[in-house]
């Protein structure tokens, strides 16, 4: 590791991107293709497994008065349906609410799992370096895949609801003929920019939080000072609580914007 000398202090270089970097865990071959499984792919599998197993187990035992995790899940589902989807989709809400619920809980689970230092726990237990962990939603390829899924869902929903011709014609509002081509061109660009902004918003917020926390913790090893260490730890605790709030907010925003884009596609009004 290269060192930087500053007065009597030796600063060891560290990588603030380490907490959000994609690292290969293993690989396998499919014919001539080599498929690399990264830590972020592993976290996606863990999140999917948790949602498939844990949520059905929680909601299976229905009680007259909900309590505990069941109450939280029910409250979240009711909030998403009544306060988010219903005002946008109206009578079409129940056609898409399952997709909206899945999107919200999947993004939220990935955000929360990214805050758990699995690799550090494994190091403490086994003493072996590993990469089993990481913030999957701090990977632009993963948030991009989620955004494209939401984008394609909105397109397919619009075509299925209105038909291909009415969907294409309805992309632009009624305007004078001489300005219609320009407006239509802008609407087409806007249509394809939506998934890009959706992906970048989630990616940037999650990555920034993890990079900041990683940088503050790195200051402890650089300065090796009790005052700096105390200030860093207290700041990291405060930022971790903020990150917890951001995890919920970003999952909600992702679900909200996806619902909004579906609403733009399926409704007759522009």
pLDDT given at position 128? 83
pLDDT given at position 16? 64
pLDDT given at position 259? 95
Alpha-carbon distance 162 to 269, whole Å? 12
pLDDT given at position 110? 94
Tens of pLDDT, residue by residue over 204-251, are 999 988 888 888 887 887 777 888 888 888 998 898 899 999 999 999
Angle at 58 between CA 55 and CA 59, to 5 degrees: 90
How far, in Å, are 76, 85, 213, 231, 259 from residue 252 at the CA level? 10, 11, 23, 32, 10
Alpha-carbon distance 246 to 250, whole Å? 6
Spans of the chain below 50 pLDDT: 1-13, 270
Instruction: Show the tokens assigned to 209.
Output: 């939080």
Tens of pLDDT, residue by residue over 69-100, are 888 888 899 999 999 999 999 999 999 999 99
pLDDT given at position 205? 92
**Where in the chain are the domains?**
3-266
Whole-model pTM? Answer: 0.87
Alpha-carbon distance 135 to 154, whole Å? 27
């Amino acid at each position: 590791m290269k060192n930087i000398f500053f007065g009597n202090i030796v600063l060891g270089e560290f990588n603030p991107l380490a907490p959000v970097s994609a690292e290969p865990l293993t690989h396998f071959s499919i014919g001539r293709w080599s498929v690399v499984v990264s830590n972020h792919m592993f976290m996606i599998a863990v999140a999917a497994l948790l949602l498939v197993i844990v949520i059905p187990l929680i909601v299976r035992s229905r009680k007259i008065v909900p309590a505990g995790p069941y109450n939280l899940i029910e409250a979240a589902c009711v909030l998403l349906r009544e306060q988010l989807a219903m005002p946008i989709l109206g009578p079409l809400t129940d056609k898409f609410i399952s997709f909206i619920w899945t999107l919200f809980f999947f993004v939220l689970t990935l955000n929360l799992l990214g805050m758990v230092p699995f690799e550090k726990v494994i190091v403490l237990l086994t003493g072996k370096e590993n990469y089993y962990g990481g913030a999957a939603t701090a990977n632009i390829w993963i948030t991009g895949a989620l955004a494209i899924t939401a984008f394609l869902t909105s397109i397919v929903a619009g075509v299925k609801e209105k038909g291909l011709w009415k969907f294409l014609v309805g992309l632009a509002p009624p305007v004078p003929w001489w300005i219609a081509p320009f407006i239509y061109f802008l609407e087409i660009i806007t249509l394809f920019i939506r998934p890009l902004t959706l992906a970048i918003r989630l990616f940037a917020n999650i990555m920034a939080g993890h990079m900041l926390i990683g940088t503050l913790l790195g200051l402890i090893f650089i300065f090796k000072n009790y005052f700096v260490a105390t200030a860093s730890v207290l700041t990291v605790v405060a930022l971790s609580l903020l990150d917890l709030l951001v995890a919920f907010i970003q999952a909600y925003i992702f679900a909200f914007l996806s619902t909004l884009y579906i609403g733009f596609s399926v409704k007759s009004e522009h």
